[in-house]
Amino acid sequence: MTSDQLHRLLLDNLNTAVLLVDQGLLIDYINPAAEALLQVGSVRLRGLAACELFNDSETARQTLRESIEYGNPHTIRHEFLSGPGESSQVDYTVTPISIDSGQWILMEMQPIDRILRINREEALLSVHDTSRSLIRGLAHEIKNPLGGIRGAAQLLADEISESSMDDETAELCRIITTETDRLRKLVDRLLGPSQLPSFEEINIHEVTEHVAALVEAEVQGKLVVTRDYDPSLPDLSGDRTQLVQAVLNVARNAMQAILEGNSEERRLTLKSRIQRSFTIAGVHHKAICRLDIIDTGPGISSDIKERIFFPMISGRSEGTGLGLTIAQSAINLHQGIIECESEPGRTCFSIYLPIKA
């Protein structure tokens, strides 16, 4: 292996986005990490003016020109990328280098929004684990007296039956039994799945199509369900039942938000994409499946936006506040996570699931 091949191999396997810019300030080389960050292939980027990658292209052009002319490195912070991909914020450093007596610029880009997302994700997972531990302990404490109440109600029902007491007394006894059973089911939902997931190879679009069919049957044409799938997504390892439940819980929340709102456009979108070089819970994944569930509802109230994954937190008067908690728990068991962005007219829940090699 030659020295050039070794250098190219090292650059290609870096997680840092790296570009090589020539004297004309045109991109000559871009590594895979930069392709993933910019969401554009190297073929389209090679030969493009490097300053056009940024919203403030004039500042970028001046910075690159000064680096070439005076041989000084520069760092620009909190700059927004432009282009066909989703806009993201980066810090970038330009360093002048000499290669074969020619002047070049090595440009390194660090995504700031990814760091902020990882910090937010770690805080969310920490709170989720803490609240889940507290809920499990509380749920077990509640189930014990509920069992005693139901047992006593059954004995009382037998006594009432034998003594031929009036129907009103028997009805009160049945109410106790029915409400006790309802509370037990609620506690069981708080505890989450009673079994570990049974993993198998599964296509995420089988899950989304099943959920879409259920939603369409439920709404009877009151809203439009749109599919925007990436057919290149490979299969992932997952429990089909739990993934269907998680996606359905999120989609049903979105459906209810649309139907209860007064938006002119009533649309629920299921969108799948492959995303590369992604970190979940401190673990770096070369590729993940991103499933977006987007609705045109009124958005999530700012009062509860930061707490929507907590149990018993709901924006609806009739909601139990358990749907998103159960969905997050199921996705966590798949080493994934759910995130949310919301504004009036557009709410997007993003489910991230690792794709195993």
Q: What is the pLDDT of residues 76-91, one digit of tens each?
A: 888 888 865 556 788 8
Write down the pLDDT at residue 201. 92
Angle at 195 between CA 285 and CA 286, to 5 degrees: 5
86 in the same domain as 102: yes
Write down the pLDDT at residue 231. 92
Write down the pLDDT at residue 147. 79
**Considering 45, 80, 113, which residue would you say is the last residue of a domain?**
113
50 in the same domain as 119: no
211 in the same domain as 277: yes
Q: What is the pLDDT of residues 288-303, one digit of tens each?
A: 999 999 999 888 877 7
Give the span between the Cα atoms of 77 and 79, in whole angstroms: 6
Write down the pLDDT at residue 40. 85
Give the span between the Cα atoms of 84 and 97, in whole angstroms: 29
Give the span between the Cα atoms of 144 and 85, in whole angstroms: 54
206 in the same domain as 103: no
104 in the same domain as 121: no
Write down the pLDDT at residue 205. 95
**Considering 113, 139, 155, which residue would you say is the last residue of a domain?**
113
Of 46 and 169, the structure prediction assigns the larger pLDDT to 46
Reply yes or no on whether the pLDDT at 8 is more than 60: yes
Helix axes 323-333, 112-163, angle to 10 degrees: 120
Question: Average pLDDT over the chain, rounded to whole?
Answer: 82
Q: What CATH number is attached to the domain comprising 100?
A: 3.30.450.20
Name beta bridge partners: 157: none
Q: What percent of the chain has pLDDT over 70?
A: 80
Q: What is the pLDDT of residues 225-282, one digit of tens each?
A: 999 999 999 999 999 988 998 999 999 989 988 988 777 889 999 999 998 877 777 7
257 in the same domain as 177: no
With beta carbons less than 8 A apart as the criterion, state whether 142 and 189 touch. Answer: no
User: What residue numbers bound the domain in which 294 lies?
Assistant: 200-354
* Residue 14: partners with Cβ closer than 8 Å, 6 or more residues away: 31, 33
pLDDT band at 311 (very low <50, low <70, confident <90, very high): low
Q: What CATH number is attached to the domain comprising 283?
A: 3.30.565.10
Give the span between the Cα atoms of 256 and 293, in whole angstroms: 13
Tell me what the mean pLDDT of segment 115-132 comes to.
64
248 in the same domain as 160: no
119 in the same domain as 99: no
Q: What is the pLDDT of residues 179-231, one digit of tens each?
A: 888 877 777 766 666 566 788 999 999 999 999 999 998 888 889 999 999 99
343 in the same domain as 214: yes
With beta carbons less than 8 A apart as the criterion, state whether 67 and 92 touch. Answer: no
Q: What percent of the chain has pLDDT over 90?
A: 30
Tell me what the mean pLDDT of segment 97-101 comes to.
81
Write down the pLDDT at residue 78. 84
What Å distances lie between residue 202 and 199, 206, 212, 280, 339, CA to CA?
A: 9, 8, 17, 20, 22
Write down the pLDDT at residue 281. 72
Number of structural domains in the chain: 3
146 in the same domain as 106: no
Give the span between the Cα atoms of 292 and 273, in whole angstroms: 8
pLDDT band at 316 (very low <50, low <70, confident <90, very high): low
Reply yes or no on whether the pLDDT at 341 is more than 60: yes
**Considering 142, 173, 191, which residue would you say is the last residue of a domain?**
191
Tell me what the mean pLDDT of segment 153-175 comes to.
78
The amino acid that residue 163 corresponds to is S
336 in the same domain as 218: yes
Please spell the DSSP secondary structure of 290-308, one letter per residue: EEEEEE-SS---TTTGGGT
109 in the same domain as 164: no
pLDDT band at 176 (very low <50, low <70, confident <90, very high): confident
Copy the structure tokens of residue 274.
């492959």
Q: What is the pTM of this model?
A: 0.59
